[in-house]
Structure 1
């Protein structure tokens, strides 16, 4: 059975903070992002940060790639590097 993003987030929050009062929202947020990364997700902005597109253009994989392979590699490379440029 596939786990939804909502289920991952809910479980991470539940497991992160067992207190009934004075919840630690920073701790919960960290648990959520950690759980998402562990499940293969990355939180990224809808529009690429300034500099990321130029960086990706300079780092395009060389060689003969089928369009689907090129797009897959570019997508992965940009998502993996979004944090470098998101400042």
Structure 2
């Protein structure tokens, strides 16, 4: 579960940075506290469905896409971990 939370946070950060936005701007557009956005991006807080929806609307992407991006980050990290483990053997 923690990996998914962290991966979702990475997806939020990547989406925000793709727009050239600061955490402050995303927080303002999402009606969230900037420090909370930072916690989500670091994987320190679990975003509720309402928060996911607010972030997605602000980032102009469907909530399902934002969640899917988090899953893709998690899968990429898993593959990278497996690849590194096989190299180490």
Q: Name the TM-score, length of structure 1 as normaliser.
A: 0.32
The structure with the largest alpha-carbon Rg is 1
Which is richer in helix?
A: 2
Q: Between the two structures, name the one with larger relative contact order (CA 8 Å, sep ≥ 6).
A: 2
